[in-house]
Structure 1
Amino acid sequence: MTKYNLVSIFGSILILFSFYAVYRIRNDFNDDPKYLLLILIICVSTDIGGFIFGKLFKGPKLSKISPNKTFSGVIGSYLFSLSAAFSFIYFFELNNFDASIYLLTLLIFLISTISQIGDLTISYFKRLAKIKDTGKVIPGHGGILDRIDGMIFVFFFLYIFLLIQKILL
């Protein structure tokens, strides 16, 4: 079995499990679709913030895995995700969180971090498989996978976290 086949199999399993995790999170942990939308908004704003701040402020490179990622992009990812999430929470009056503002900020920060790690991990696997773009549906964006790579990891880890929390509590 070649390295490309292993990466493809691992990637397919991860994507399928992530879709399953979305389904389970939506049906088992919260019936309100706004919370699922909040997670999506955090992931998308993480991508947008990283792109905008990385292009505007440039700066030192984050890693050799993905040479266009910069430390300023990481900061922009956090700023955009925090502002987008709190705006969404305020706009939709999602004030039934049992958490303090500090815990909520930490959760948004964690989701943004996992999204960025997912982005770098998928970039690494694409480099291993010698694939530059995963499609041409969205020109200039590297394909659909580049739009959802962070979400794949966020839903995976969030589902595992919620399962552990459910077992322990």
Structure 2
Amino acid sequence: MNIELKKRISTSIILTSLLTAMYFFSFVMIISLLIITVIVWIEFYALISKIIPNDKFKDKFFRSFYKIIALFYLSLLIYIIFIIESYYPNLKLYLLYSVLVAILSDIGGLVFGKTFKGKKLTKISPNKTISGSIGSFIFSLFLVPFFHEELINNSFFKLALITILISIISQLGDLFVSYLKRKAKVKDTSDILPGHGGFLDRVDGIIFAIPVGILLFSFF
């Protein structure tokens, strides 16, 4: 096992432990989300700064506009999670499920992509393959049998369909950040997580999967 893989596994264990603690302890969730939000916004800020120069008024305007939009979106996301935690505890399970779908989509894409390789999915990210995308769907669907009894208001088919939709949004979020990194000519958003890059590299799919997942479970 090479050093890079060891770092990736160690970091994954720490992040999984943090996610578990966030689910069971509200104060851990609040503190962690605030810290992660600040870091993610800083990493996004750095990407936009590399993509858009700062020598013209129009460029300065668009840099500021994108940064404000990102900050507003992340703040709104945190607010939604706090509302769920405080007033709608039953939705906490939907929140957890959406996060797990995004995580398994990421793992499935990595495993299938490395194993089967094949045709590239898009020019945006050369490492993304069609087989990897299929793997994302397959891995995320593994959750359905385990949560089917818990999410009693959803049939097996309906839960499977919601899972696929969340996985699609998660993959699109991943591609969006990959596009930004490609434009900025960087491999990772930062090196804060050994073997993983930055927090934005890890939560790119999650930050889009959460609102979509909650909306689907609430109104679908």
> What TM-score, normalized by structure 1, do the two folds share?
0.80
Matched, 1:156 2:214: no
- The equivalent of 2:164 in structure 1 is 109
Per-residue Cα deviation, 1:35-87 (whole angstroms, up to 9, x for no partner)? 3222211110010000010000001111111110000001110110011x125
Change in Cα spacing, 1:11 to 1:87, as seen in structure 2 (3 Å) is same
Matches within 5 A, 1:64-75: 64-75=123-134
After superposing the two structures, state which structure 1 stretch, 66-75 or 139-148, moved more.
139-148
Question: Which structure has the bigger radius of gyration?
Answer: 2
2: CA distance, partners of 1:53 / 1:31: 34
Q: Residues 24, 127 of structure 1: CA spacing in aligned structure 2 closer, same or farther, 3 A cutoff?
A: farther
Question: How many corresponding residue pairs?
Answer: 161
**Residue 124 (str. 1) matches residue 179 (str. 2):** yes
CA distance in 2, matches of 1:86, 1:161: 15
Residue in structure 2 matched with residue 86 of structure 1 by the alignment: 144
Gaps of 5+ in 1: none
Runs of at least 5 residues in structure 2 that lack an aligned partner in the other structure: 1-58
Q: Does 1:137 align with 2:202?
A: no
Change in Cα spacing, 1:87 to 1:144, as seen in structure 2 (3 Å) is farther
Q: TM-score, normalised by structure 2?
A: 0.63
Give the superposition deviation at 1:24.
3.2
Further displaced range: 43-52 or 6-15: 6-15
> What is the distance in 1 between the residues matched to 2:97 and 2:214?
15
Q: CA RMSD in A?
A: 2.6
